[in-house]
Amino acid sequence: MENFDFVSFRHVELENGFWQKRYELNKAVSVKSVRDRFEDSGRFDALRFNFLKTGKRPHIFYDSDVAKWIEAVAYLMEHDRKAMHEHEALIDELVTCMAAAQREDGYLNSFHQQIEPQNIFQKRGNHELYCCGHLVEAAIAYDKATGKRALLDVMERYLDCIEKAFITEKTAAFVTPGHEELELALYKLYRHTGNEKYRNMAEFFLTNRGKVIEDTVYADALKGCQDDVDIYHLREANGHSVRALYLYSGIADMALENGDKALKAALDSVWNDMTSGKMYITGGVGSTYRTESFTVPFDLPNHTAYAESCCAIAFILFALRMRRFKRDAKYGHLIERVLYNALLSSTSLDGRSFFYVNPLEIALEEYGRETAVPLKNRERLPKTARQEVFSCSCCPPNINRMLASLGDVICFDEEHAVIEQYISATVHSTFGDIRVAESYAISGKVTVSSKAYTADKITLRLPEWNRGHTAKMNGKPIYGTEKDGYITFEVPCDFTLEIDFAIAPRFVASNPCVRANAGRVALTYGPVVYCLEGVDNGPRLNRISVSPDAVRDAVLAPDFHGLLSIRLPGKRDCDCTQLYFDAQAANTSPVQLKFIPYFAFANRGESDMLVWVRRD
C-alpha cells in the first residue's frame, strides 16, 4: 500500500486546449454567475448575518454553498489573484461578518444562529457539521492563496466548540454527521496545520459510524445515512450518494494516514460495487432521486437517472484518493469518464447555468403525462434545461471549485512522473517541468515533453478505450513497457514523446443485467459518450435503431460550439395508424443519424435526448 501524491493544481499551468477553455469559462463566467445568483438569493446575506433586513430565510446549508464558492475563488487566486480582486473583497467582508457573529463558545452557523438557535447540535439532518466541513476547506484554500488567516482562525475556534460538544462533553444530540464532509476537511486541516487534534476528530467521526442503534431522524433508514455498518465492514455503496462519496473519501484519508489495510480493503469493495454495477456510462452515480441514493446493482434507469452533479465531483475526489494507494489505471479511467461526461454535462456551454440532475434520456412526451394529474401528484422527472440557481444549490459552486482545481488530476509524482490525464498544461513536477499538449478527445494525439527532466522514465496511463497506439521519442518510433494499464518509456533529459492513441467511434453495450439498456448500445468516441437529440433527429428517439457496424460509415465533423458531431446511418420505425398490429408488418426506413457529445445536450433548447439507442 503506497501513499503517492499528485502534483497539486497549484503547480500546474493549464495551456491552450479543451480543458483550459472550460477552466477560463468557469473563471470568467460560472464563478461570477454563481456569485450573482447567491447574492440575489440571500446566500451571502445569510453569512453577513443580516438576513432579517433582507426578509429572506436562509436554508440549512447556505453556509456550505458559500464556502464552496470561496474555495473556488481561492483556487483561482493561486494563478490569477488580480482577476479575483472583487471576489476577494467580498470574501473579506464575509469573513469579518462571520468573525463578528461567531458565538462566544465558537459556534458558527448562519441558519441555526439566526433561525433555530434552539436546535443547535440537536438535529442530525440539519447539516451543521457538513457546513463546517466546507467552511474549513474554504478557510484552508483562502489561507493558502492569500496568507489571510482570519477565516481559518474562526474555523479553528468553531472546531474547538464541535470537539467539546461531540467528543469531550457529548452534549450534542447525535454522534456523527447526518451529511458527511467534515471528515475529509479535518484531514485536510490536519495536513495544513500539523495539529493532530483534527486527525483525531476525523477518526472519531469516522469510527463512530455504524454504531447508532436508534436514531430519531433516520430511524428507518440507517443504510440511507451510511449508519447501517461500521467503516471496517463497508462492502457496498449505499444511501445518499454524495454523502457516501464524501464519507469514502474521508475513510481513504484515514487509511492514507494510518496505513490500515482493512480500511483499504473495505474501500476496494465499495469501489468495485460502484463501478461494476452502480455507475452510468457517463460516470454518474446515485440512480434515484428518492433520497438521492445509490440503489441495487444494475438499477440504472436513464430517463429518471439522478446522477447528481455533486456526485461527479465527489467521485473524482474519491478516485484521486484511491489512486494514491496504488498505480492502477482504473482510477484514471474513472476520472476521465467522469470529467468528459458526468461533470461536463452539468454546465451549459455558455457557463451560466447548471444541471443538478443529469438524465441519460429525455422523452418529452413523458412530461406530457404530468398535465393529466394534479400538481401534488406529479412525478419527479429531471429538468430538461439547466438553471442558474436552485433552492438547493450545492452543485454550481461545487463545479466552480472542481474546475478551479482541475490541475490536480493530471500528474502523479512517484519514482518518476506518471501522467494520468491528458490535459494541455505545464506541470511543475518533482522531476522538472513537463509539458502536456493534446488533442486527445479529437485526434487521440498527445505530446509529453520536457527540457530538463531529472528522472529516466516517464509513465502514461493508457486510455480504457485505446485499442493500439504508436509512439515516437524525439521523432523516432519507440515501444514502451505496459503494466496495469500504463505504459512506461525510458526518456532522456530533454525529450518530446508523441503518442497517438487509436481513437474511433465505437458502440458500447451494457452488462445484460442492466434492464434499462437491454438491447441497446451507446456511441462513444474516445472518452466522450455521445447522444441523439431531438433537435437533430426528430422527436421520439426510441423509434430509432442502429447497428454497431454503422460506425464504418461514420462521418465526423465540427458542429455547434466547435464540438465534433458524428453522423451515421440508422433506421426509424415507420409511422402507422394502428396501436397494435402484426409484428411481421412492422417497417423501418433508413435515416442518417446525428450524434453529439452527451455533455453538450440541452444547449439548443428543450429537446428529446437519448444515450442508449436500440440496437438493430
Q: CA geometry: angle at 160 spanning 109 and 8, to 5°? A: 80
Of residues 250, 228, 246, the one with CA closest to residue 238: 228
Stretch that binds a second copy, among 98-106, 221-229, 419-427, 447-455 (CB under 8 A): 221-229
The SS3 of residue 24 is helix
Pair 530, 524: CB distance under 8 Å: yes
Total length of the chain: 616
∠ Cα 181 185 191 (to 5°): 155
Among 26, 226, 238, 346, binds a second copy (CB under 8 A): 238
Cα dihedral 305→309→310→313 (10° resolution) = 120
Is 269 a residue that touches a second copy (CB under 8 A)? no
Is 275 a residue that touches a second copy (CB under 8 A)? Answer: yes
Residue from 99, 509, 554, 563 that binds a second copy (CB under 8 A)? 509
Stretch that binds a second copy, among 66-74, 361-369, 399-407, 416-424 (CB under 8 A): 361-369
Residue 345 within binding range of a second copy, rule CB under 8 A: no
Which triple of cell numbers denotes residue 198?
Answer: 483534527
Q: Does 260 bind a second copy (CB under 8 A)?
A: no
Q: Which of 279, 307, 360, 436 binds a second copy (CB under 8 A)?
A: 279
- How far is it, in rounded angstroms, from Cα 410 to Cα 421? 5
Answer yes or no whether residue 519 interacts with a second copy by CB under 8 A: yes
- Footprint on residues 369-408 left by a second copy (CB under 8 A): 369, 371-379
Q: Answer yes or no whether residue 419 interacts with a second copy by CB under 8 A.
A: no
3-state secondary structure 326-351: CCCHHHHHHHHHHHHHHHHHHECCCC
* Interface pick for a second copy out of 459, 545, 565, 607 (rule CB under 8 A): 545
Helix, strand or coil, per DSSP, at residue 325: helix
Is 228 a binding residue for a second copy by CB under 8 A? The answer is no
Q: What is the dihedral of CA 247, 253, 254, 257, to 10 degrees?
A: 180
**Least distance in angstroms from the C-beta of 53 to a second copy:** 35
Q: In the stretch 150-189, what mask flags binding to a second copy with x, by CB under 8 A?
A: ----------------------------------------
Least Å from the CB of residue 407 to a second copy: 28
Q: Binder to a second copy among 276, 443, 470, 474 (CB under 8 A)?
A: 276
> Is 569 a binder of a second copy (CB under 8 A)?
no
**SS3 call for 511:** coil
Closer Cβ to a second copy, 123 or 472, answer by number:
123
Nearer to a second copy, 116 or 299 (CB): 299
Alpha carbon 476 to chain centroid, angstroms: 39
CB of 196 to a second copy, least distance (A): 37
Residue 615 as a binder of a second copy (CB under 8 A): the answer is yes
Residue closer to a second copy, measured from CB, 150 or 508: 508
Of the pair 157, 333, the CB lying nearest a second copy is at: 333
C-alpha distances out from residue 395 to 308, 309, 347, 490, Å = 8, 6, 10, 42
Contact segment (CB under 8 A) with a second copy among 14-22, 125-133, 283-291, 401-409 equals: 283-291
Supply the DSSP string of 267-306, one letter for each residue. HHHHHHHHHHHSB-TTS-B--BTGGGB--STT---STT--
Nearest Cα to Cα of residue 166 among 132, 213, 214, 217: 132
479 is an interface residue for a second copy by CB under 8 A:
no
The Cα–Cα gap between 597 and 375 comes to 34
Q: Are 522 and 281 in contact (CB under 8 A)?
A: yes
Q: Please tell me the distance from the alpha carbon of residue 499 to that of residue 209, in angstroms, as a whole number.
A: 47
Cβ atoms within 10 Å of 366's Cβ, excluding its own: 14
How many residues interact with a second copy (rule CB under 8 A)?
A: 70
The residue to which cell 461531540 is assigned: 166
Candidates 14, 503, 521, 566: give the one binding a second copy (CB under 8 A): 521
CB of 174 to a second copy, least distance (A): 17
CB of 87 to a second copy, least distance (A): 38
Does residue number 557 form part of the binding site for a second copy (CB under 8 A)?
A: no
> Measured between alpha carbons, how far is 497 from 477 in angstroms, rounded to an integer?
10
Stretch that binds a second copy, among 170-178, 255-263, 273-281, 406-414 (CB under 8 A): 273-281
Residue selected from 163, 230, 299, 433 as contacting a second copy according to rule CB under 8 A: 299
Could you tell me which stretch among 70-78, 217-225, 411-419, 455-463 binds a second copy (CB under 8 A)? 217-225
Per DSSP, 216 falls in state S
CA angle centred on 48, ends 42 and 50, rounded to 5°: 75
Asked whether position 290 contacts a second copy by CB under 8 A, the answer is yes
Residue 580 found at the interface with a second copy (CB under 8 A): yes
Q: Rounded to the nearest 10 degrees, what angle do helices 395-404 and 62-80 cross at?
A: 20
Residue 365 CB-density burial (10 A; 0-12 exposed, 13-18 middle, 19+ buried): exposed
Choose the stretch contacting a second copy; rule: CB under 8 A; options: 73-81, 171-179, 358-366, 388-396.
Answer: 358-366
Residue 331, interface with a second copy (CB under 8 A)? Answer: no
Residue 50 Cβ vs a second copy, minimum distance, rounded to whole Å? 36
Beta carbon nearer to a second copy, 519 or 562: 519
Nearer to a second copy, 265 or 509 (CB): 509
Burial 290-313 (b: 16+ CB within 10 A, else e): ebbbbbebbebbbbbbbbbbbbbb
486's CB contacts (< 8 A; 6+ apart) are: 327, 329, 418, 459, 460, 461, 462
The reply to whether 487 sits near a second copy by the rule CB under 8 A is no
Which residue from 506, 554, 556, 559 is in contact with a second copy, where contact means CB under 8 A? 506
- Please tell me the distance from the alpha carbon of residue 104 to that of residue 542, in angstroms, as a whole number: 62
Q: Is 123 in the site for a second copy (CB under 8 A)?
A: no
**Could you say whether residue 296 binds a second copy (CB under 8 A)?**
yes
The three cell numbers of residue 125 are 439532518
Query: Contact positions toward a second copy, by CB under 8 A?
Result: 218, 220-221, 223-224, 238-239, 275-277, 279, 281, 288, 290-291, 293-296, 298-299, 363, 365-366, 368-369, 371-379, 506-515, 518-519, 521-522, 540, 542-543, 545, 548, 573-586, 614-615
